Copies of this chain bind each other. A is one copy, B any other.
Amino acid sequence: MAVKLKGNACIGQSGGPTVVINQSLVGAVLEARKHDEIEGFLGARHGVQGIMDEDFVDLFNVPDATLEKIAATPSAALGSVRLKPGRDECEKIFKVFQKHNVRYFFYIGGDDSSKTAHIVNTLAEEAQYEFRTFHIPKTIDNDLMENDHTPGYGSAARFVASAVMGDDLDNRSIPGIKVDIIMGRNAGWLTAASVLGRTNPDDGPHLVYLPEVNVPMQKFLGDVEQVFKARGRCVVAVSEGLRDENGRIWAERLAEESEADLQSDAFGHFQLSGTGALADYLTARIKAAIAGKKKLRIRGDTFGYLQRSFAGFASPVDQAEARQVGTDAVRYACVGDVDGSVTLKREEGSGYRTYTEVVELEAVAGKCRSVPAEFITPDENNITDAFVEYALPLTGGLPEIGHL
């Protein structure tokens, strides 16, 4: 029987928040209370930044009722951070871990966070500091390797699907052309979710463009014109990471061409969200190409941060799964000398059931899971039924609507 590694645990949250990231936090805390090898549980404010600053919350001291409220609250209750710690910062982190006898480190986040967990773990091994690291998956982007899907995605997909359902009904009421820009820089999972509420053949979105596909502007405009001519209206779902014929991100190209002063974060990403520029550009191009002198209603919306933060509309399936990955991370860490990333898997066969597994941190870190070809229609401007079958259960169901 393995010797129990006794000491304190530390947990942090990192990257763009989701509406269920606190479910994972609360799952870990409630599970840790059951394991006597975890003597205390430190919550690091703003992820690795909080560790370096020794800015901790005593999580074992938080009452259950408060924890349950926090679990249902969107965004990172501990605060998040976008910081990839370098060598100096990691040494600082180890000193803090040693000082506080931290032997269990849990980091809830996306791809960037699994990278961070991986670096910290590698340095811990070099320093021969005995501890266990677990990455707990979280991202609305659904782009983590080794996962059937990621906690956070189901709720964001539910939001996007309901938003486009309503938007399509609005576009029926007062017909025109509508462009909706949806989050997802490198993977189109969330943009694909725009189709999940379709029930009738003429329901929108009528066109869907993912970053997995290069889209020449002439094809885009031609597609829109064709749908509009056939139906008298057109709803288009476009990823913020929409790429031109050479694979360049349109929003970045626009930013350079207009010499706009876009911000980039510590990981070198351009800012795509928090600006309406792409929607305004695409509606202007459509207007110039299609509307001509004719009066035509053309609008663009950028769904923005609501997709990852909207309160009171989480998927119950997503909530339960986010709780589970947090719970299981602690269970795995207490079983024995193992590090890794908790992953969410789907059971084979009929019905929808999931379970978790542990994989090596390296298997998740630094890689992006794209939408596979089978989920994109052959003409590369729409989404297949196979995707709907895959993604609909994650939303926990969508509102039912009626037509005259």
Report the bound CA distance from A197 to B68 in whole Å.
19
A313 to B276, CA, bound (A): 24
List which A309-352 residues lie within 8 A (CB) of chain B.
Answer: 309-313
**Complexed CA–CA distance, A15 and B403 (Å):** 19
**Distance of A67 Cα from B402 Cα, bound (Å):** 8
A169 is contacted by which of B74, B81, B275, B298 (Cβ under 8 Å)?
A: B74
B-chain residues with CB within 8 Å of residue A88 when the two chains form the complex: none
| B-contacting residues, A253-295, CB 8 Å | 261, 263, 271, 273-277, 279-280, 283-284, 287, 295
Q: How far is A68 from B398 in the complex, measured between Cα atoms in Å?
A: 17
A72 contacts partner chain B, Cβ-Cβ < 8 Å = yes
Residues of B close to A169: CB separation below 8 A: 17, 73-75, 309, 311
Would you call A404 an interface residue if the criterion is a C-beta within 8 Å of the partner chain's C-beta atoms?
yes
Query: Chain A at the B interface: mostly helix, strand, loop or mixed?
Result: loop
Mask, A38-75, CB within 8 Å of B = 1, is 00000100000000000001000010001111111111
Instruction: Judge whether A114 is part of the interface by a CB distance below 8 angstroms.
Output: no
B275:A300 contact, CB within 8 angstroms: yes
Chain B residue numbers with a CB within 8 Å of A360 are none
A302 to B306, CA, bound (A): 10
Q: Which of A119-127, A170-178, A220-228, A366-374 contacts B (4 or more CB under 8 A)?
A: A170-178
A301 and B301 CA atoms in complex are apart in Å by 9
- Interface-facing stretch out of A158-166, A185-193, A386-394: A158-166
Say yes or no: A300 contacts B276, CB within 8 Å: yes
Task: Closest B residue to A398 by CB, please name it.
Answer: B312
Would A170 and B81 be within 8 Å (CB), given that A274-B301, A275-B280 are in contact? no
Interface size class of A (residues with CB under 8 A): 35 or more
Residues from chain B with a CB closer than 8 A to the CB of A13 are 173
Q: How far is the CA of A360 from the CA of B302 in the complex (A)?
A: 41
Question: Inside 8 A of A69's CB, which chain B residues have their CB?
Answer: 400-402
Question: A95 CA to B171 CA in the complex, in Å?
Answer: 30
Which of the residues B300, B306, B402 comes within 8 Å of A166, measured between beta carbons? Answer: B306
Number of copies of this chain that the complex holds:
2
Q: Given the known A-B contacts A172-B79, A306-B301, are A162 and B277 also in contact in the complex, defined by CB atoms under 8 Å?
A: no
Contacts of A297 in B (CB 8 A): 263
Of chain B, the residue at the smallest CB distance from A68 is B402
| A320 vs chain B, min Cβ distance (A) | 18
Question: Any chain B CB within 8 A of the CB of A78?
Answer: yes
**Is B17 touching A75 in the complex (CB atoms < 8 A)?**
no
Whether B166 pairs with A75 at a CB distance below 8 angstroms is: yes
Among B81, B305, B400, point to the contact of A301 (Cβ < 8 A): B305
Whether A170 touches B308, Cβ cut-off 8 Å, given contacts A72-B399, A73-B401, A277-B276, is yes
| A173→B79 contact, CB < 8 A | yes
Answer yes or no: A77 CB below 8 A from chain B CBs.
yes
When the two chains form their complex, are residues B401 and A313 in contact, meaning their CB atoms are under 8 A apart?
Answer: no
A252 CA / B73 CA spacing, docked (Å): 38
7 contacts between A and B (CB under 8 A): A17-B169, A74-B166, A273-B299, A276-B300, A301-B304, A302-B302, A311-B399
